[in-house]
Structure 1
């Protein structure tokens, strides 16, 4: 009886907390608050999940999980070096200070990294950027922390890519950018295309959601995330504010995590938590690749000949005095795939190239700096498809990624695609 009572109590706590999440997402509904007691949470199998608790001991970050990753000497491609104009813009000046440190072969010595973990003072920024005080606050915050690269990890999944203590050869790792309040999106992915299992021919898929922490202006969902992490074992949470301009930092820390905890992964899918992915179609495509392509794959919907947007009212605004020049060809950040063989090189190059506030542009810079040319695939539709086709399962059957879909749309599409009754 005691066991049943405990299970019931745990269920009540979980349901109450989910009500809290959904009612906060719906401002018209009642707000129900919950306090999560310190109870051992068990998985759906009834057994405690090992190694999925937050990396804390007595309330302090457990640094035993935060090993350093070797930063390699990196060769900077000529294409990237010549693409950035030499001008007075702040980012350009930072970049050219890095170029001065290249050796005769175009290599960047690891002793000369641009990210030393320090914060830039407001006085320094005002001295170096004449109109800094006119920048939007989100830009000012980004500039103060653009050299910061080593936040503590609060919730880790060190055994995500292992079985029985041994590394798994993971075919595809879904790494999805999420935020604390997006439980519905995460749960939908778990139920549909993000299921962790062995697909046809034994191709192994794993899924993680990559998060920062809530700002002081948002409800503190830390305890709820802890509970979710224990139940599902797929949350990675770092100690930095989860803002749009910090997505570049989120990319950087994920690369480090992958090298440490999923080093044998063949391919990584990076994307948002509101995309619809045809997992079987992606695996089929990846399996068809020639060996020469596998090691240098950077695949998605490619944006070419793009330039910074200069309207301060736009989300993607980049001031003239911060960056001058075109953008490299890059894969839309809604969803793209790259080779696991590139993890160490990508991570290393992020220590040399100054952070940029738009994460998919920055990722494109890193790939171009490594001499990797992005590959376009018609199955990636990160800017959506025609409205009349958005509920058509047959249209989605030949697509790999579509952005964006609500949880309800994703559930409907997945159920239809998986149905043996579907005829296209």
Structure 2
């Protein structure tokens, strides 16, 4: 049965065809459908030019009209509909100088990166596959459409896409495509870091990331990734670990640990990661280093927080070469904590000022920290009078 996302979009193809033009589902959605994978969105290609698409549909947005893409708003959904096109010379190894709108599906599919992504499906579910992409899918092969050297020279990001697909799909590169990757790896330096990072993060989320990292090494692509040109040994070590089940966030953490950077934050900044992501990874790294020398305690779980503790434990288990059995234990510890954050502590700085008549100062934070830790460790109840009595007995106030 055709997936629901295709079914929802069929009325759009109907309207385009009723207007006298061709329309097809194309790209990754067709590939994933043929592989039985989950489909998250659909792309539509048509022989109708952008101005003609806009006449067919009353509600549109010109999201990329210079490249033939019109965003169509239909029945509460958004669909990107792109005109068949050919492309001129690529002078920056990323984008063509110009595009020409055409009426030929085959010519449009010819400009795409890999055969598995150069398959179209019409409204009846019939497959149009001029470059034998389905055969390559069945053979689990990633093959460039036409000359791999030309495809990579046109758009150097396709090299990272090839490696990313190895990780996500578990496919192998066809021989000529693999050779071209090794010969043209230096072209990656022309690509914006943000685009490279997007592909690298997708690579790290795949279950076959070990195979993909090996390909980064053998092709020398790693030499053009931020901060990795001199880190071959660290990458080799990562490929020798059982990393298949790690998430992208956990894979970043493992890589960061293996690199042993003196300033991990500066390394992450080179990748143009968000400030939030960098902060999280640096925090995770701190707790991973703590975990490598200690078992989980109530206070360590409390300070880390449950998401960090789980990520850290999964990476720790990979480094130790054993199955993670502590994750449920960590969850049990966390759920049993008397408080989950400082705001739940039944003690404030104002309480301490009232009880002591002292002037404000660093001593307040020191006492709050001590009381917080004692509550977490079960030494005192999280109740104001109990805490006050404990502080008197310890001669802290």
TM-score computed with the length of structure 2 as normaliser: 0.22
Which of the two has greater helix per residue? 2
Larger RCO: Structure 1 or Structure 2 (Cα < 8 Å, ≥ 6 residues apart)? 1
Could you say which structure has the larger radius of gyration?
Answer: 2
TM-score computed with the length of structure 1 as normaliser: 0.21
